[in-house]
Amino acid sequence: MGRYILKRLVSAVPVLLGITVIVFAIMAMIPGDPATAILGSYATPENVEKLNRDLGLDKPAVQRYFIWLWNMAQGDFGRSFSLNRPVLDEVLDRFGATLVLAGTAFVLCSVLGVAAGVVSAARQYGLADKAITFAVLLGISIPSFFLGMMMILIFAVELRWFPASGMWPIYGDRTVLVLMKHLAMPALALAVVATGVVARLSRSAMLEVLRQDYIRTARAKGVPERGVIWRHALRAAMVSILPVLGIQAGFVLSGAVYIEMVFQWPGVGRMLVDAILKRDILLVQGGVVLVAACYVMFNIVVDVAQSLLDPRIKT
Amino acid sequence: MSTLALLARNRLALAGLIVMGLVVVLALLTPVLPLPDPDVTNTGNRFVKPFSEGALLGTDHLGRDQLSRLMWGTRLSLAVGFAAAAIAAVLGAAVGIVAGYYGGRVDNLIMRGVDMLMAFPYILLALAIVAALGPGLLNALIAVAAVNIPFFARNIRGITVGIANKEFVDAARLAGMNDARIILGEVLPNVIPVIVIAMSTTVGWMILETAGLSFLGLGSQPPQADLGSMLGEARAALITSPHTSIVPGAMILVIVMAINLLGDGVRDALDPRLRSGALTRPMAATLVRREGPVPEPVGDDVLSLRDLQTQFHVKQRVYRAVGGVSLGVKPGECLGIIGESGSGKSVTALSVMGLVASPPGVITGGAVHYKGEDLVGAPYGRLRDLRGREVAYIFQDPLATLHPLYKVGDQLVEAIRVHHAISNKEARAKALSLLRDVRIPNPESRLDSFPHELSGGMRQRVGIAMALANDPEVIIADEPTTALDVTVQAQILSLLDTLRREKGLAIVFITHDFGVVAQLCDRVAVMYAGRIVEEGPTRALLEAPAHPYTSRLIACVPELGGGKRALHAIPGLPPAVDDLPPGCAFAPRCDKAQPACREGEIALETHGARKLRCLFPETELEGRA
């Protein structure tokens, strides 16, 4: 197992490098002159030229890429001009908030989605199945940002159950309970779409598995139906559900952008949108690379979980 | 059934189609409708509530007419969403077809790139692209299209690989057609359904994603507004004037939901697997819909079937898989059921414990008596309690019938513990002794093996051990040796024979092989088209088969050392059990058939120890009862 994890980690290196290449290539497409963008259109040519030199923008793109990569390897992601602080500090400050939000949403969508899918498949064409199928359809069709706004209207403004925005109150204690109150609505709004996707897939994976011969064997042994569904069928269905959970992790991680905007959540997503509007390229690059790297790492965890689940996978 | 008809039959998809059609028509008509200019501001008239005079949906924070903005915004959102879907589909399909068609290094290189792009959470990728191109609706469109290209490319490559290796493509190549003509003429038409499915399931996403980018202020720029930016602008006034948010948000929801409904319908209509209705899950026990009286138990058989009828109901058709079968087995006895595939022998066996997949299986008549208790009418709980404890099964292919993800030992332990409240440790000890009973070498280490780590013969021994786990009275073995090679088959048969003698088991043995029957069974019943045509003691039946079908079936068995003897395959095929001929079902293939064979019911008559359903038997049987 240790060797398998190591192997997967090694195989992630080219993917991570590829991600840096893609991010850099996209940013290199920027029309016009970044220095002008920074200094504004009234800058003197001398100042623009000086800034270009300071930023290393007078060098060829390939060379610039390797300098950027080498600096990142040493923990230097450059400096955000709009915030005037190191990119890495800013991203790391905000990354925790995003992880709390996306992590909670991920747990919600995995647990609720799989459970809904299993119940739906076990009661195919029954009332529960129909209700879940409809809820799923609604869930995957509603824009998460609209859902978030409606939740604020209902649960924060009307009912006053939850605070409307932010991660922490301006005054008061920072306890887990306070965090949970702030987290409930954004995490749920973020999880809804992913839950729908997971539930759909879980349902069809379960239907596929329930037709297999080994399910008939379990029934022939006299295993109660609950055990047939949750122990025999779900275990086998998880083999095809897990990869989708991996994809949904990426979805909640990046979809957090919308939710962070709606709920004023102090995460990476909001930072990225601000950075894009201010054309703070280094900050965008750093943020995107770190979030993408986090996603790649999470998918290694998924792969390892998959190999633990399915003994037929060669480790 | 045609694709369109299927789509129309799906009521939800139809609803989606109607709503979507309505929205599209309205969007197309927007420029000619008598609407106020969507961009004219009137700050004196801000946040007018809906259903007011002159503004049906009210006005927004700049006093602009909401209805007009909604219509124009819908128009824009639809256009952008569909354009993004079309671009992604065309480019993705092109990439996928090239990769799949040329294969080799081209494929490798392209798919590496695609995998790399898919390693990105795709909203992040879209943000990066917009960051580079700058905010704007066109740029948002490009970004959303771009991040969806890998998805299309991967899907379509998979299909293309399959098509590129088909005979008709080889034929086109041999005919001297060039690659471009083959791709456009042979490959593309076969890929289009996949493209349509992929588009119909993603266009909703693309509308959501572009709306999302606009919502963030990265898409359409003021004063032009799509639904997303309307929502984004309204957010500041969410609490004071919620209607400005609800109007565009609800519209996005309606559009995307209609598209998703329609997309599901399209997928169902185009996906042949769903068309056959194959994706239904079997219920915990076979459905029972008995008409007519329930037969009373007779005799001292431990298990007896009385006039059992099991059917498969597929849409309008009724397949009579088991058409009234009566059988019995005594303790310590082995009864063989033999017949070709499709003769209903497995369905008969599975009906005993309600294990016929349902839907489509339905038990429509007769009874199964276990020690005098009717199992067909028994509630599920009782059936479950008897399954494995009193009547156990051994199935054909142990690789498919053992759970692939659980260790052999755990599966045995479970079989024991569902019926006995004992500790895990005790159950494990029992599992170990079971593996010894079925002569598995190194049983201690085998407990921790997964099924795929065992050989076919070992797996079937595990299957037998599992059947023995609760010392059942009856074992039903459904072709347990068919998937095994001959030497292993002989070992398994002798193991079953020993176990039967040691434990006094009653065995019902399903097979299509007379050689196996001769080795193991005391009595044998021959099935054809869902009914028993002949039954009797094995030796007597083998030496003097009375039904023409039995004798033909015996003639099919090659004999070792029998010299060069022509093998007599039976001409023709067994009849479809949804359309049985009147009279003898074998008559169309029988060379002794007379007109009388094709008229009316032929009864299964008892002749001493034997039973026969034939008017012109090969051998005259004595002692007609």
CB-based contact (8 Å) between B616 and chain A?
A: no
> Closest Cα partner for A245 from A294, A303, A187?
A303
Average pLDDT, chain A: 88
- pLDDT tens-digit series, residues A103-154: 999 999 999 999 999 999 998 888 999 999 999 999 999 999 999 999 999 9
Q: Which of A44-58, B469-483, B501-515 has the lowest mean pLDDT?
A: A44-58
Q: What angle do CA B442, B443, B445 make, to 5 degrees?
A: 75
CB-based contact (8 Å) between B288 and chain A?
A: no
Residue A70 tokens, joined: 């080498």
Question: Going from the N-terminus, what domains does chain A have, and what CATH number goes with each?
Answer: 93-272 (1.10.3720.10)
Return the number of other C-beta atoms located less than 10 Å from residue A90's C-beta.
22
Segments of B482-623 assigned E as strands: 506-511, 523-528, 531-537, 605-607, 610-612
Per the CB < 8 Å rule, is B231 touching A140? no
Average pLDDT, chain B: 87
pLDDT at B297 exceeding the cut of 70: yes
Per the CB < 8 Å rule, is B116 touching A15? yes
- pLDDT tens-digit series, residues A77-88: 888 888 889 999
As a whole number of angstroms, the distance between CA B42 and CA B52 comes to 15
Q: What are phi and psi of B140, to 5 degrees?
A: -65, -40
Q: How many CA atoms lie within 13 A of B259 on its CB side?
A: 28
Contact B534, B546 (CB under 8 A): yes
Mean pLDDT computed over B136-156: 91
Closest-CA distance of chain A to residue B119, Å? 7
Domain boundaries along the sequence of chain B: 8-28+56-275
pLDDT at B267: 79
pLDDT at B4: 64
pLDDT band at A52; cut points 50, 70, 90: confident
pLDDT at B311: 92
CB-based contact (8 Å) between A138 and chain B?
A: yes
As a whole number of angstroms, the distance between CA B468 and CA B461 comes to 10
pLDDT at B516: 86
pLDDT at B336 exceeding the cut of 80: yes
pLDDT at B456: 87
Query: What residues form DSSP beta bridges with B52?
Result: B55
User: Domain B8-28+56-275 is classified in which CATH homologous superfamily?
Assistant: MetI-like (1.10.3720.10)
As a whole number of angstroms, the distance between CA B140 and CA B134 comes to 9
pLDDT at B447 exceeding the cut of 90: yes
pLDDT band at B560; cut points 50, 70, 90: low
As a whole number of angstroms, the distance between CA B121 and CA B125 comes to 7
pLDDT at B33: 84
Residue with tokens 């919600």: A108
Residue with tokens 């390939």: A62
As a whole number of angstroms, the distance between CA A292 and CA A20 comes to 9
CB-based contact (8 Å) between B542 and chain A?
A: no
- pLDDT tens-digit series, residues B33-60: 888 888 777 777 777 777 777 777 777 7
- CB-based burial of residue B38 (10 Å sphere; 0-12 exposed, 13-18 middle, 19+ buried)? buried
CB-based contact (8 Å) between A219 and chain B?
A: yes
pLDDT at B561: 59
Contact B102, A1 (CB under 8 A): no
pLDDT at B79 exceeding the cut of 90: yes
- pLDDT tens-digit series, residues B352-381: 999 999 888 999 999 999 998 999 989 999
A positions 108-127 inside 8 Å of B (CB): 121-122, 124
- CB nearest B450 (choices: A215, A221, A311): A311
pLDDT at B268: 77
pLDDT band at B2; cut points 50, 70, 90: low
CB-based contact (8 Å) between B245 and chain A?
A: yes
